[in-house]
Amino acid sequence: MSQANPFNAEQTLKTSFGDYQFFNIQTLAEQGLGDVSKLPFSIRVLLESCLRNWDDFVVGSHDVKNLASWDAQNVQQVEIPFHPGRVVLQDFTGVPAIVDLAALRSAMVRMGGDPTKINPLVPCDLVIDHSVQVDAFANNMALEQNVEIEFERNMERYQFLRWGQQAFDNFRVIPPATGIVHQVNLEYLAKVVLQKDGVLSPDSLVGTDSHTTMINGLGVLGWGVGGIEAEAVMLGQPIYMLMPEVVGFKVTGELPEGATATDLVLTVTQMLRAHGVVGKFVEYFGPGLQSMLLPDRATLANMAPEYGATCGFFPVDQETLRYMERTGRTAEEVELVEKYYKAQGMFHDANTPDPTFTSVLELDLSTVEPSLAGPKRPQDRILLNDMKPVWEKALEETFKRTEDSPEVEVKFNGQNPKITDGAVVIAAITSCTNTSNPSVLMAAGLLAQKAAAKGLTRKPWVKTSLAPGSRVVTDYLERAGLMPSLEALGFNTVGYGCTTCIGNSGPLQQEVSQAVSEGDLVVSAVLSGNRNFEGRINQQVKANYLASPPLVVAYALAGTVNIDLANDSLGTDQDGNAVYLKDLWPTREEILSAIAGSMSPEIFVEEYSKATDGPEQWQQISGAEGQIFEWDPKSTYVQEPPFFVNMPKDPKEIESIDGARCLVLLGDSVTTDHISPAGAIKSTAPAGLYLQEQGVAIDDFNSYGSRRGNDRVMTRGTFANIRLQNRLAPGTEGSVSVYFPTGEQTSIFEAAMKYKEDNTPLVVLAGAEYGTGSSRDWAAKGTYLLGVKAVIAKSYERIHRSNLVGMGVLPLQFREGEDYQSLDLDGTETFHIALDDTLKPGQAVEVAATKSNGDEVHFVTTCRIDTPIEVQYYRHGGILHKVLRELARN
């Protein structure tokens, strides 16, 4: 913080427990720099950050003035430095971040510098929530069994994290079996106001998971970044971003009887995707906020990646304070939030004038209807009443089932039911999206209670699971008396973490798996998650539908998505009477009564007083100590990455990319799930063969996510998704490419290694929305380690584009109206990309593609290095390379 801020904005805030300093953004209006009262609240947070961090170097006076004068209808394309107050990590993305920090320390020693300079400068919390898998289910020991298996699989990683916990300052680990990072953040980690050295500021953060945006429901500005960017923030670097446009989303009315927060968010996701909000902020406003409880807001904020926005922000208001009280925050914390935000002019109430927005959408909440989304994308919403005909159409058009669906017998003990296309083989109440929201969880419990009372049971081929976002969920479901009914239908607690939604659904029941393979069936999953991309949930499940928790229970009872739940019965009761969904659906009054009778601040205080303890297995871990990690060359989980090995002291000048070959040729909507290693490791895949060479048994492979600390595994798994379609090898799926010098068809990894031996640079050609999905830093790291120097795509999702630059990979974008098809490129060409050291953000870059017959195709692309600081990152070969050089030099 500067000691000589030129705006004279530093003021004193008096509270009942002491005085604090803060930088008041309202003084900027008094100085004629802009009408701060008309700014979107999210822009005010960015403005306060620049005002407080002004140093006339990283943050200049022009940055403060640019934000204070933000013009909704003419948003300047200028770069803004933002210093988030803290960082949150989950273990899949957090482990490689800590591996990189450990590698930076090792590199610093080699460069003759002080390794302790490599240390988080802002508070960092890592929540271990992505490693639990649904192996055991539908029994009362499922939780204990899954935790036991989790520790067996991940002990090496957990020992490494215990090392990091003692080696780094400002770094806290929340152990396994505690909760999902975003719900733990919402209920416990977030303070709403941060205090450092007696100076207050709005709580803000970035996280290594795209759904970090959930915290915006609490009025805390934050979003997901790649691990690469997060590490830079940890090391004191700001996030550099273009001044954002802000789309206002006005809500009016109230949700009708029967509609849930899930239905609301699927409606909003569809609307905002159609409007186009990629790279923009979304901010909610309007009279409907007065009736919207904070968990509903958090659900909307959580799904920002699904509608494509950087964040979905709710301003701090009275409901924020009530939620803090309900979740056991102290009276001092609540008072500080209220007084601070009111002093800043950032507290919203019914009399607050609406901010000005770049554009505005509006939704009357009373029009929201029960919905699902799928079978492959979260924005493809389906009204519940239309589900059966839409499924039948998808079966024919999406999944190409042109003949009658086969029926296959499932050989269970004593019963041999038949399943066919549309069979629900996974029904999962999972993900921070919904397990942060008591209303939908209570609705699921009440529906289960009514169903169990009528003698209904889940179909035997359905793998059911309940993965609460925190232990508080279990407390209130038990207090409401609903857990026995959920367990009676197979919804036993399987773990506290991200499970089905990120591909940790575990294997299907063996008998079901055999039947699916035998009939090549198009089976379904119904989950209360936020992601349903193909190949993500389970490799045998092609159709995946997002739905509210009560609908998940209903589909477990039905056993198929080929049903009209409005008119078809779910089964019969003890007297033989048909039971319909409408007979089981709880009323709003029943839901509110269950919540009121089972939730209290005391259960939050009790559970989170033990947040850092962890289960017995965690407490018994002993591992390495000291400031420098001792890399074990035999480890198959943690290896020193090659990023900083033999790194020159100074960066080279930017040069043209010459003689490049295409490694992968892709269509539209290729997600980071397609690019980044995720899910199970096949024994015949390059990563599986590598692990077997290292003596790892196939049963001990674990998942790619668990091995993100080992670049040898991850590079081999890049572009290895079983649903990836590389058009260089038509008719194939998965990791297949062509090594053009010989015409040999081989794995993408093996082709890349052959090109590496030839010193041949590589490119990727892609369609629109390249890199959609989670903020997987390995989608960029793996691309880089395969030798890819540039990606040329029709358009990019925000985080992946940023991550490519952060790894020194050049993102280029086809001009409007052009793509590789229109340019008659098929990927067999040799590419020359004209660059020099004068490269500027957004400049035109010429590309020449030479065909095998000598013909040349010349076209112009747009450089998607978007900001001046990104040019520096690219020149250095990556963001961490730049940070390391600066720290070593200083």
Residue 12, in any domain of the structure: no
Asked if the model's pLDDT at residue 349 lies above 60, the reply is: yes
Looking at the fold, whether 226 and 295 belong to one and the same domain comes out as yes
Residue 25, in any domain of the structure: yes
Instruction: Give me the count of residues in the chain.
Output: 890
Residue 723, in any domain of the structure: no
Per-residue confidence at 637, pLDDT binned at 50, 70, 90?
very high
Asked if the model's pLDDT at residue 548 lies above 90, the reply is: yes
Give strand ranges (E) for 481-629.
Answer: 524-527, 543-546, 571-572, 578-579
Per-residue confidence at 703, pLDDT binned at 50, 70, 90?
confident
C-alpha closest to that of 125 among 180, 193, 82, 50? 180
pLDDT of residue 692: 97
Residue 725, in any domain of the structure: no
Phi–psi pair at 406, nearest 5 degrees: -75, 150
Please write the tens of the pLDDT for every residue from 815-845. 999 999 999 999 999 999 999 999 999 999 9
Phi–psi pair at 544, nearest 5 degrees: -125, 130
| Rounded CA separation 874/870 (Å) | 6
Per-residue confidence at 2, pLDDT binned at 50, 70, 90?
very low
Please write the tens of the pLDDT for every residue from 419-477. 999 999 999 999 888 888 999 999 999 999 999 999 999 999 999 999 999 999 999 99
pLDDT of residue 134: 96
Per-residue confidence at 164, pLDDT binned at 50, 70, 90?
very high
**Residue type for position 552:** V
- The residue to which tokens 């699916």 are assigned: 516
C-alpha closest to that of 510 among 427, 429, 428, 425? 425
Q: What is the mean pLDDT of residues 663-669?
A: 96
Which CA distances in Å does 604 have to 445, 495, 706? 20, 18, 30
Asked if the model's pLDDT at residue 661 lies above 80, the reply is: yes
CB 827 within 8 A of CB 665: yes
| Rounded CA separation 835/841 (Å) | 12
| Rounded CA separation 164/89 (Å) | 13
Tokens of 626: 């000291």
Per-residue confidence at 775, pLDDT binned at 50, 70, 90?
low
pLDDT of residue 678: 80
Looking at the fold, whether 587 and 449 belong to one and the same domain comes out as yes
Asked if the model's pLDDT at residue 512 lies above 60, the reply is: yes
pLDDT of residue 645: 93
**Residue type for position 449:** Q
Asked if the model's pLDDT at residue 139 lies above 80, the reply is: yes
- The residue to which tokens 């968990």 are assigned: 295
Which of the listed residues 82, 110, 134 is the one where a domain comes to its end?
A: 82
Looking at the fold, whether 123 and 265 belong to one and the same domain comes out as yes
Asked if the model's pLDDT at residue 277 lies above 80, the reply is: yes
Looking at the fold, whether 389 and 522 belong to one and the same domain comes out as yes
pLDDT of residue 36: 97
Looking at the fold, whether 652 and 683 belong to one and the same domain comes out as no
Range(s) of the domain holding residue 158: 86-367
Looking at the fold, whether 386 and 341 belong to one and the same domain comes out as no
Say what percent of the chain tops pLDDT 90. 87
744 strand-pairing partners: 739
Which CA distances in Å does 551 have to 100, 555, 758, 831? 42, 6, 55, 51
Q: What is the mean pLDDT of residues 597-623?
A: 94
Three-class SS of residue 792? strand
Number of structural domains the chain divides into: 5
Tokens of 203: 């709580």
Looking at the fold, whether 337 and 396 belong to one and the same domain comes out as no
**Exposed/middle/buried for residue 857 (C-beta within 10 Å: 0-12, 13-18, 19+):** middle
Tokens of 579: 């039971």
CB atoms within 10 A of CB 720: 28
pLDDT of residue 4: 64
pLDDT of residue 658: 97
pLDDT of residue 890: 77
> Which CATH number characterizes residue 813's domain?
3.20.19.10
Looking at the fold, whether 50 and 118 belong to one and the same domain comes out as no
Q: Indicate the pTM of the whole model.
A: 0.87
Residue 619, in any domain of the structure: no
Which CA distances in Å does 537 have to 410, 515, 562, 814? 21, 18, 19, 32
pLDDT of residue 772: 87
Asked if the model's pLDDT at residue 1 lies above 50, the reply is: no
Residue 204, in any domain of the structure: yes
Q: What is the mean pLDDT of residues 522-531?
A: 95
> Which CATH number characterizes residue 182's domain?
3.30.499.10
| Rounded CA separation 543/525 (Å) | 6
Looking at the fold, whether 452 and 306 belong to one and the same domain comes out as no
**Exposed/middle/buried for residue 508 (C-beta within 10 Å: 0-12, 13-18, 19+):** buried
Average pLDDT, whole number, for the chain?
A: 95
Which of the listed residues 67, 82, 97 is the one where a domain comes to its end?
A: 82
The rounded Cα 22 to chain-centroid distance in angstroms is 32
Looking at the fold, whether 361 and 434 belong to one and the same domain comes out as no
Looking at the fold, whether 350 and 392 belong to one and the same domain comes out as no
Residue 416, in any domain of the structure: yes
Looking at the fold, whether 437 and 561 belong to one and the same domain comes out as yes
Which of the listed residues 33, 63, 82 is the one where a domain comes to its end?
A: 82
| Rounded CA separation 872/765 (Å) | 24
| Rounded CA separation 699/708 (Å) | 18
Which CA distances in Å does 254 have to 247, 458, 460, 513? 21, 33, 38, 43
CB 760 within 8 A of CB 769: no
- The residue to which tokens 């397609």 are assigned: 674
Q: What is the mean pLDDT of residues 847-870?
A: 95
| Rounded CA separation 826/177 (Å) | 49
| Dihedral (CA of 45, 51, 55, 56) sign | positive
Residue 251, in any domain of the structure: yes
| Rounded CA separation 869/844 (Å) | 18
Query: What single-letter DSSP state applies at residue 647?
Result: -
pLDDT of residue 213: 97
Asked if the model's pLDDT at residue 519 lies above 80, the reply is: yes
Q: What is the dihedral of CA 169, 156, 98, 756, to 10 degrees?
A: 160
**Exposed/middle/buried for residue 369 (C-beta within 10 Å: 0-12, 13-18, 19+):** middle
